[in-house]
Structure 1
Amino acid sequence: MLKDYDQKVSQNDLYALIREGEHSEQDFKYRISDARKIARTLSAFANTTGGRLLVGVRDNGSIAGVKDEDDIYMLESASEVFLKPALKLEVWAHEIEGKNVWEIEITEGKEKPYQVDEIDGLKAYYRDNDQNFVANAVLKEVWKQDRLKESKHPVAFTEKEQRLIQYLKDYDEVSVSKAAKVMQLQRRKTIEILARLIRWEIINWSHDTQEGFRYSL
């Protein structure tokens, strides 16, 4: 799992990466002390567009270095024990300022949703800017439909779908529960329809820490 870079190349590359700061495709970890916490970041990257994890770098971009080479086993545990399905990780070791920094590349997954075995059950995460968020049932359904290669091209809308679209034209946005009331459907069927409309690019989704997930045209 652990590979070495040429020292000169790694220093130039690493400084450039660190200058980018943390963002939607990059996260810094001072150290690996919690495999489940690392699994959340792996899940978020794999469920979104992929990303890079730099271990041994503080949040402010200063180099702390990897303190314990056995942390590689914590990484393996994060992927193989806590992440469902597991991801194959490639870890590149950089030497800079006399310290080791690990670069872990996580590609966008083909078996979404990648979920973390949390104490209270399986949870999938997604990445937005420099933070990881728990995905809701609609997002997980979007990934499931993508995985099953269901059509991304709109077909004729049902009467209930037309009712929802008209409601969104009139009132801007809905929650899952409101959409269920508008279409007079059970929650499970509502989730499937919202996911399908997202994949067809008919509606958009947004998330707010106060308001939760919302859906709009």
Structure 2
Amino acid sequence: MTKGNLEQIVADGEGLFLEFKHRLPESERVAREVTALANTSGGYLLIGVTDDGNLSGVKDPEEEMYALNHALEKYCTPAIALKSEYIKVSRTRTVVVIKIPLSPVRPHYVRDLSTHQRSVFVRYRDMCIVASREARKLMKRSPETENVLIELGEKERLLLHLLEQVGRVSVHSFAKRARIHPGRASRIIIRMTRAGILLHHIGLNEDYFTAGEALRPNSCK
């Protein structure tokens, strides 16, 4: 990547795929930012770029990388594969470009060392937020979650009818309409999403689901 390429990327501003840091923040916070990108769509973490897009750079990129790797080793599980690159922006300053791919071993967890609890984070626009139960479940891949075929029962057909009416559903809106427990509504939605009938969208306060590509009469059994 050249300085010109970097300037083009930065010009678009922070968003779903891009996070700016003037300097590396405290360890647990940066662990959340990196895992959120790896858990959602992948992207870039740029160290040495201010929130307004100024390429301020850092004096010692090796020190920043050491601190980043230490934070990830301390707080993240499983490990995340990163690629790094140093871009000189002045005689004494460098921007550290961290490329974070969409991880094939999601979800990645961040450990709270004081409570020993683990949390999953995702990216919503330019923010790092806690993942919903549905997001966590849908990240996991196994032979049982691939090429899912389901039978459309009464509740599933009610959900499809609700989609036709309003275009999107959430776990709570479906549970209320179907008069079922949110836990059951969540399981139905997860199965239908894995079957390609629904498409998952991360939301700030609540995730929602829209019609997926497999929503055709001959796609489900």
Report TM bin, short chain.
0.7 to 0.9
With 157-166 and 111-120 compared, the bigger mean Cα shift is at 157-166
Q: Which runs of 5+ in 2 are unaligned?
A: 212-221
- What is the root-mean-square deviation in Å for CA atoms of aligned residues? 2.7
Distance 1:13 1:37, change over 3 A: same
Aligned equivalents of 2:207 and 2:182: distance in 1?
18
- 1:70 alignment partner, SS class: helix
CA drift of 1:51 comes to 0.6
Alignment match, 2:137: 141
Aligned AA for 1:88? A
Q: Which runs of 5+ in 1 are unaligned?
A: 1-8
CA drift of 1:208 comes to 4.7
Matching of residue 125 in structure 1 with residue 118 in structure 2: no
Alignment match, 2:81: 88
TM-score, scaled relative to structure 1: 0.79
Alignment match, 1:161: 156
2:108 to 94, 114, 132: 114
With 162-171 and 33-42 compared, the bigger mean Cα shift is at 162-171
Superposition pairs of residues 17-56 of structure 1, within 5 angstroms? 17-56=9-48
Distance 1:132 1:80, change over 3 A: same
With 103-112 and 168-177 compared, the bigger mean Cα shift is at 168-177
Distance 1:51 1:80, change over 3 A: same
CA drift of 1:110 comes to 0.7
Alignment match, 1:13: 5
Matching of residue 202 in structure 1 with residue 197 in structure 2: yes
Distance 1:159 1:136, change over 3 A: same
With 120-129 and 52-61 compared, the bigger mean Cα shift is at 120-129
Q: CA contact under 8 A between 1:54 and 1:102: conserved in structure 2?
A: yes
CA drift of 1:215 comes to 4.0
- 1:123 alignment partner, SS class: strand
Aligned equivalents of 2:171 and 2:127: distance in 1?
23
Alignment match, 1:151: 146
- Higher strand content, 1 or 2: 1
With 191-200 and 84-93 compared, the bigger mean Cα shift is at 191-200
Aligned equivalents of 2:34 and 2:79: distance in 1?
10
